[in-house]
Structure 1
Amino acid sequence: MTDPLQIVCPHCDAVNRVPAARLAERPSCGACHRPLFTGEPVALDETRFRRHLNASSIPVLVDFWASWCGPCHAMSPAFATAARDLEPQVRLAKVSTEEAPALAQALRIQSIPTLALFRDGQEVARQAGAMPASRILDWTRAAMRLTPARHV
């Protein structure tokens, strides 16, 4: 039997332990009782970003974006579509570089939109530029195959 996965609630940020075999059963948060997976990207500020990265057993795919960025807005629906296809194996999140400039600087985000895939709290892949949903899915799945999987 595998160890339970730690899943951070997208609503209240509580850390939940969920057996990997039960991810597809639409688990709910033990604290706020809302769904742990919504099929939508989670908007994160710097504090929440760090919580999701450091406490989550599943990979986290982050779209770094800004409100003034046309390509970011153009890619937003594709990223939302990818969330529906990749959850619950991957948590998709959005971080505004305008609202978290120190984080963007620390991670050396130099262009937007930029997708970054994190596993076990570490960045394992990065891709700059807007992409359609099919390419986001292909890129994410390929990047996950290239990195050692601890839990998924």
Structure 2
Amino acid sequence: MSKFGELISSHVPVLIDFYTEWNEPSVSMHPVIRDVAAALGDKAKVIKIDVDKNQELAEALRIKGLPTLMIYKDGQMVWRQSGELDANTIIGLVHEQFRL
């Protein structure tokens, strides 16, 4: 989990998508997350984490519903939500949280 600590300790916002390949809502979020990453460019990091391959982390963060999205800044979680969202909503949240 120390690698996770390194990921979230960035000075730019870090959007994390916790997903699995067998969960239909998770899979349908793939193109949305791609669009968000393209729109934010270098203003934020966008990371996808497969909970099947990172079960210990998913348990530590109490990931229950999929997909679960989180936004971190300087190592602190500032926003979290489970379920599908559209790209514009996610981009708006990042801009709102960090006044980008």
SS of the aligned residue for 2:43 comes to: coil
The aligned counterpart of 1:67 is 21
Answer with 92-101 or 135-144: which moved more: 135-144
Which is bigger in relative contact order (C-alpha 8 A, separation at least 6)?
2
Give 1 or 2: higher helix fraction: 2
Corresponding pairs, count: 100
Is 2:48 the counterpart of 1:94?
A: yes
- Kindly tell me: are residues 134 and 109 of structure 1, through their superposed partners in 2, closer, same or farther at Cα, counting changes over 3 Å? same
Is 2:7 the counterpart of 1:52?
A: yes
The aligned counterpart of 1:42 is none
Distance 2:97 2:82 in 1: 14
SS of the aligned residue for 2:46 comes to: strand
State, as a whole percentage, how many aligned pairs show the same letter. Answer: 33
What is the CA-CA distance between 1:49 and the residue it aligns to? 2.8
Distance 2:5 2:66 in 1: 20
Is the contact made by 2:13 and 2:94 (CA closer than 8 Å) also made in structure 1?
no
Unaligned runs of 5+ in 1: 1-45, 146-151
1:74-123 alpha-carbon deviations (Å, 9 max, x no partner): 01101100001112111000011101011011111111101100011111
Aligned-residue CA RMSD (Å): 1.6
Q: State which structure, 1 or 2, has the greater radius of gyration over its C-alpha atoms.
A: 1
Unaligned runs of 5+ in 2: none
The aligned counterpart of 1:133 is 87
TM-score, length-scaled by structure 2: 0.89
Is the contact made by 2:8 and 2:74 (CA closer than 8 Å) also made in structure 1?
yes
Distance 2:73 2:47 in 1: 13
What is the CA-CA distance between 1:142 and the residue it aligns to? 2.3
SS of the aligned residue for 1:88 comes to: helix
The one-letter code sitting in structure 2 at the alignment partner of 1:61 is L
Is the contact made by 2:20 and 2:51 (CA closer than 8 Å) also made in structure 1?
yes
